A = this chain, B = another copy of it.
């Protein structure tokens, strides 16, 4: 059975880093933001445009069109759904090639038939604020309040995205095989044991 690992994560919990390091430890590819680039290339669309449409909260976007008839909003929704569909087809294509880690994009739902190991990464607010500040320091400093709001909004967006494609809930333990709390931990220290967990899982 191929080792397909999906990573869902709270914003700023270190999920992306965990996914990348885990893939490195296992010696398998990790697909993250490059999914957007690959879709843009396949569809002949601008990368920034695809990235922007991918990050929209489709559910809120969709709700905003109700009662408006066929306005430009509908075009936005259909574009978001088309891009999501292209991303999901690409994710399936990548998974069918063999072992890999896929971060985000509701890959756990999309790849159900591949029997992936689905991980959920989370942390307490204090750790998320710290991590976010460390990452943003080089650009512009963010206030705790701003980061807290980002955590809330981005996670809500992720939950809504999942809800479009599945009845199971984002972040609820029953949707995943292992939920990993990274609060106050160095991600790299968790990797060897997680790699062992993955290997045991697929034995």
Residues of A that sit less than 8 Å from B by CB = 120, 122, 124, 171, 173-174, 176-181, 183, 185, 189-190, 192-194, 196-197, 199-201, 203
Q: Is A199 touching B203 in the complex (CB atoms < 8 A)?
A: no
Chain copies in the assembled complex: 2
Q: How far apart sit A77 and B31, CA to CA, in the bound complex (Å)?
A: 55
Contacts known (A124-B174, A181-B176); A197 close to B197, Cβ less than 8 A:
yes
Q: Is A199 touching B189 in the complex (CB atoms < 8 A)?
A: no
Q: How far apart sit A178 and B190, CA to CA, in the bound complex (Å)?
A: 11
Q: How far apart sit A201 and B13, CA to CA, in the bound complex (Å)?
A: 17
Residue of B at shortest CB range from A117? Answer: B181
Interchain Cβ contacts under 8 Å between A and B, 30 examples: A120-B173, A124-B174, A171-B173, A173-B179, A173-B181, A174-B181, A176-B179, A176-B181, A177-B181, A177-B183, A178-B178, A178-B179, A178-B180, A178-B181, A185-B201, A189-B200, A189-B203, A190-B200, A190-B201, A192-B196, A192-B200, A193-B193, A193-B194, A193-B196, A193-B197, A193-B200, A194-B197, A196-B196, A196-B197, A197-B197
